Each structure stands twice: as C-alpha cells, then as structure tokens.
Amino acid sequence: MERRVAREFRHKVNLLIDNEAEKDYLYDVLRMYHQSMNLPVLVGDLKLVINEPSRLPLFDAICPLIPLKHQVEYDQLTPKRSRKLKEVRLDRLHPEGLGISVRGGVEFSCGLFISQLVKGGQADNVGLQVGDEIVRINGYSISSCTHEEVINLIRTKKIVSIKVRHVGMIPVKSSADEPLKWQYVDQFVSGSGEGKGSVAGLASSGGRDNREKKVFISLIGTKGMGCSISSGPTQKPGIFISNVKPGSLSAEVGLEVGDQIVEVNGVDFSNVDHKEAVRVLKSSRTLTISVVAGAGKELFMTEEERQREARLREQERQELMHQKRLALETNKIIKEQQEKERLRKLEISQKAAEEEERYRREIEQITAEEEKFKKEWEEDWGPKEPPKSLKTVTAEVHAAPRSKHKIDLKGVGHDQLETDDMDEVIMKQDKQGFQKYLEDFDPYSMFTPEQIMGKDVRLLRIKKEGSLDLAVEGGIDSPVGKIVVSAIYDGGAADKHGGIVKGDEILAVNGKILIDSRLAEAQATLAKAWNVGGDWIDLVIAASPPKEYDDEIPTIPSSTVSPNTQRKVFEGSAPVYRQGYLLQL
C-alpha cells in the first residue's frame, strides 16, 4: 500500500514538475518534515515549489504521506481549492459598483482572477473570494479575452452573471517583458486604490493606461448619446469626450471623460476638427466607435482628481515594487536551496568515494593477512618430506669426525682455520644468500659471561640440503639442564657440515637463545628454522669434549632399548628414548 502511494506520488511529481532541482527540493522538504514533524514549516516550504495553479494537485498527492494526526491541520493550512463552478449575479448600476478588482487576461497568458474585494460590497456579500478565477461572464467564456474586452463585456448588461471557481492564487506581472509569477492569496498584498479605475469597478494590473476599445451604439428610439466632445490642445490634438451624463447611453456602453475618439463608422478622427466630428456622429443612428480609453483624461481633471490619480499611480507602483521584491526573495530562496542541495550531493559523493577507498584498503589488508597466515600455516603444518629411517647409533660417545666441510670459529680442541680462509668461507656463504650475521660477528656477544663461562662457543652455518638429521634431548627442566645433541645421522646436513657432534650443547638457533628452553620448545624452534625462510640455518653451540658428555649422561646398555624402538630425525619420525626421556624431534 505504501509503495503504491509513493509510486503514484512520484508519477504526479514527474508529470507536474519538469525542473530536477525543484523535484529534489520537494523530496528534501518531505524528508525534513518526517524528521521534525513541523507542519507549518512543511506547508511554507511546499508553497515555494508548488508555485503555480497547474501544480496545486500536488497538495492532494502529498496528503496520504502525512500522518493521520496531522491531516486535519494540513487541510487547514493548505490552500482551499475547488473544481466546482459558482455562479453569482451582480447589479452593475449599484451605487458602490461591483466591489471587485481583477487581474489577468489573455495578453498576460493567464485567466482573469479576482485580486481584491470591497469589504461589505456586492461581490463580498454574494460569496466571491480573492483568488477566484472568472470563467464565464453573461454566459460567454472569457478564456481568450483580453482584460479590456472582459470589462466591455461586463458593461453590456445591467445585471452581470459571473461564474467562478476558487484557485487560491493570483497572477503577478508588472511588465510585458517580465515572466508571469503567482502568489498565494495569503501572501498577496494589494494597493487600497485598486478597483477604482473604471465604472465597473475593475482595474487592469500591469496593463497600459491607454487602451483602444470599440463600442456599439444604437440611437434608435433615444434622444441622443448623452455625451459631449471637445478638441484637444495643440500639444495633444484629437477629439475627446469631455462629459458623460449619468445613466445615458454613452455611460452604459462604457464611454468615459477623457476617452479619445479615433474612428466612427470607418471615418478616421485623428485629423478632423470639432465641427466635422459632430457631423459624423449625427449622420447615423447606428454608430461603431473606436476610442482610446483615458488618452486625454488629464485634460479634464480637476486639481483634486489629479492628486488622487497621482496617489493611485504611486500606490500601484509601490505594489508592483513589493511584488517584485517578493518574487526576488522567492527566487533567492529557491536558488539557495538548490545550492545547498548541490553541496549536499557533492559531500555525499565525496564521502561515498572516501568510504569506498577505505573499504578497498581494508579488503586488501585483510587479503594480505589471510595470505600471510595461509603461508605460515602451510610452512608450519603443511606436508613435509617423508621421514628417513634412522641408523642405529650406540650410546658410546666418540670424538667429533673430521670433514672437509667442518668450520670451527673457535679452535678449542679442533683444527684451527687461518683468518684469511675464514673470511673467504664467510664471504662465499654470503654470496649464496645467507646474511643473518655480519662477517665479524662474535657469538660470545649474544650471552652473559655467566651463561658461557668455560664454554667453547662457536657459530655454525649449515646449508639446507635435504634433512638436518640431528637429534636433541635434555632441556631446562631435565636432569641435563640444557639442550644437547644426542645423535648425528649419516648423510644428513649436520653430518655433511661436520661442525657439530654428539654431546654439543645448542645455545641458539637463528638468533633465538635456547639456554633456558624446554625440549619441546627447542625442537619447535629447530623445525621452524629449518623449514621456513633462507637457504641456511645458524646454530650457536658450545663444543663439549666426549668425556665430559659421558660424565653427565651415562650410556644406556643396548639391552635396555627395545629393538622395535625408532629414533626421530629432525623432520619428524618415531620418538627416541634416552635416559627415560621422550625426545619429540
């Protein structure tokens, strides 16, 4: 239901309003109302965009969008409109006139509207209202009549029949070049003198003072026209009506003092003298007279009438200036609203672009973190090479085997390398991609004197080729109290390197100190260092003579080890049992 109402409302808006800025303004006004629930402000804002009679149906279209508790007040605040025609009859010869003033005409591209009522006058008493549009006069449609033609039509009968419909708006146009504007009745301010410019009580707003018109007079059965004519002065030549008798035939057809006669029955009066003009007027009992209304009115005015006329003109000028100021203010408000709407849309688009960029960056960051996590997970928990079968190693401690690959950084109990040879080896390894330590790095600098007191500390760089094939045991929580090498298996990377032997203490792996580590932590550190990053693994060891190791860890007789028990190599295999401790390598 609500969707259907909204759809019909949008269809009505698209049908009646072409300007996109005005459409946006209308929608914004409704959104602000639903936030503030301020009905008078809503109606005032709506009048800025519903600013002509053709858009008035929008008030009815908006009504279903108003909450029920506000609809009664909404009907009271919005202009009252009626499609029904109302017919009234007025006496044109009433002493106070018809009591109305009108605006408009076909020359202003609009109908004829009542712009002022004389309070207590005929029109007021029969129920006419300011903002009524006059549709018919004496049975004739006036949709294509000029303002002056309507006045002449009113003057043709003593009893004037007028049909109107209430619109609630009045046209405003101070000059022919100015675009037509509309004002609501409650916004319209009229001069007090309007409505006194003609016998019928009608005044043309914004029209010319001098307007040509035709009257038809039949003198059959009458004593005469009931008017007098005079020739104009040298500075204003022509034939002018100088007097009109009240109730005469001339008064009934609308001739007035000051009207200039320009043609009678086809005879041009622009260059005729007074005598010839009288002759032509008396030559026929049927006259068609063309006059310019009020062209010489100032020639026959008294001083009091001149002052009154000046006041009326000043009032009309002030009124037009007021209407112009209102129109300018209205246009200014609309332009301000349009500019605000433009800035609002620009701000929304900028915020949307910023939000989209922020969202894109967050997605990229999340994706990068997921890739990193996935890579680390695969490195830590992904499938590895199948474990190798362990060779049987006796519990006896042997001297460290010699190898052409063995490198001792400190020569206590081992072959010494010349300084030049060491530099050459380290530089060679650096060229192959390992750069965790500087060439002149001193492994003693990693520990406190208490930690390495009496120990032969060495730095080993082992190439990652195949499996490390090295077994460890002990730990800070074991009787040994440190991490020691329990086995080196033939053919592995540790065996090929030759710098580490059974019984050596492992002090650090890739810069991580293991002096106070448990066995499981040391095994995990070795596994990660071997499987993740780089082509080399750095081991800092404390070389231990075999006899010292034998003193600390007694050899387990072979009969105490089950023949089915297998040792676990570095990459992972069955557990190794030594001294009653399970080695998790």
| Alpha-carbon distance values, 238 to 114, 233, 271, 277, 556 (Å) | 35, 8, 7, 10, 150
Strand partners of residue 462:
537
Q: What is the DSSP string of 481-503?
A: -SEEEEEE-TTSHHHHH-S--TT
| Mean pLDDT, the chain, integer | 77
**Mean pLDDT score, 177-199:** 59
Distances (CA, A) of 443 to 208, 410, 452: 111, 10, 10
pLDDT value for 304: 84
- State the pLDDT at residue 362: 93
Find the range with the poorest average confidence among 157-166, 231-240, 391-400, 454-463: 391-400
Q: Are 443 and 452 in contact (CB under 8 A)?
A: no
Phi-psi label, residue 562: left if phi above 0, alpha if psi -120 to 50, beta otherwise: beta
pTM attached to this predicted model? 0.36
- Residue 522: both structure tokens together: 């040391």
pLDDT category at 187 given cuts 50, 70, 90 is: low
Burial of 321 (0-12, 13-18, 19+ CB in 10 A): exposed
Q: Are 181 and 327 in contact (CB under 8 A)?
A: yes
**Residue 29, token pair as written in the block:** 């006004």
Helix/strand/coil for 256: coil
3-class state of residue 181 by DSSP:
strand
What pLDDT digit, counting tens, does each position of 300-322 carry? 888 887 788 788 878 877 887 78
Contact 54, 1 (CB under 8 A): no
Q: What is the 3-state secondary structure (H, E, C) of 379-447?
A: HHHCCCCCCCCCCCCCCCCCCCCCCCCCCCCCCCCCCCCCHHHHHHHHHHHHHCCCCCCCCCCCHHHHC
Distance of CA 227 to the CA centre of its chain: 71
Q: What average pLDDT does range 338-352 have in this prediction?
A: 92
Cα–Cα distance measured from residue 117 to residue 238, given in angstroms and rounded to the nearest whole number: 37
How far apart CA 145 and CA 154 sit, in angstroms, is: 12
Q: What is the DSSP string of 284-338?
A: -SEEEEEEEETTTGGGG--HHHHHHHHHHHHHHHHHHHHHHHHHHHHHHHHHHHH
Question: Which tens digit of pLDDT belongs to each residue from 175-186?
Answer: 666 788 888 887
Mean pLDDT, residues 544-568? 43
Residues of the chain with pLDDT > 90: what percent? Answer: 19
Is the pLDDT at 45 greater than 50? The verdict is yes
Per-residue model confidence as pLDDT tens digits over 418-467: 334 444 433 333 433 333 455 567 888 889 988 888 889 999 999 898 88
What pLDDT does residue 440 have? 66
- Rounded CA separation 345/569 (Å): 68
Q: What is the pLDDT of residue 574?
A: 33
| Least confident span in 84-93, 193-202, 525-534 | 193-202
Determine contact, residues 155/252, Cβ cutoff 8 Å.
Answer: yes
Q: CA-to-CA distance for 474 and 520, rounded, in angstroms? A: 10
What CA–CA distance (Å, rounded) separates 292 from 254? 12
Best CA proximity match to 180, nearest among 283, 270, 88, 110: 110
pLDDT digits (tens, 9 = 90+) for 475-503: 999 988 999 999 999 889 999 988 899 99
- Least confident segment among 278-292, 369-383, 386-400: 386-400
**Per-residue pLDDT, 446:** 87
- Interacting residues of 427 by C-beta distance below 8 A, sequence separation 6+: 439
Non-local (6+) Cβ contacts of 359 within 8 A are none
Stronger pLDDT, 545 or 496, i.e. the higher one = 496
The mean-pLDDT minimum among 113-122, 163-172, 558-567 falls in 558-567
Quickly state the pLDDT bin for 576 (edges 50, 70, 90): very low
CB 240 within 8 A of CB 296: yes
Q: Is the pLDDT of residue 415 over 60?
A: no
- Which is higher by pLDDT, 186 or 246? 246
Nearest one of 544, 508, 547 to 412, comparing CA atoms: 544
Q: Apex CA 20: angle with CA 18 and CA 23, to 5°? A: 90
Between these two residues, 216 and 86, which has the higher pLDDT value? 86
Is 40's pLDDT higher than 50? yes
408, 346, 396: which is closest to 541 by C-alpha?
A: 408
What Cα–Cα distance (Å) separates residue 203 from each residue in 103, 254, 495?
7, 14, 121
Q: Is the dihedral of CA 481, 487, 493, 497 positive or negative?
A: positive
Neighbouring CB atoms inside 10 A of 199's CB total: 18
> DSSP assignment, residue 515?
T
- pLDDT at residue 98 in the model: 84
**Statement: residue 585 has pLDDT above 50:** no
Q: What angle do CA 175, 176, 179 make, to 5 degrees?
A: 85
pLDDT value, residue 549: 43
Q: Report, in angstroms and rounded to the nearest whole number, the Rg of the chain calculated over CA atoms.
A: 56
Q: What is the mean pLDDT of residues 253-277?
A: 89
Rounded distance between C-alpha atoms, residue 412 and residue 83, angstroms: 117
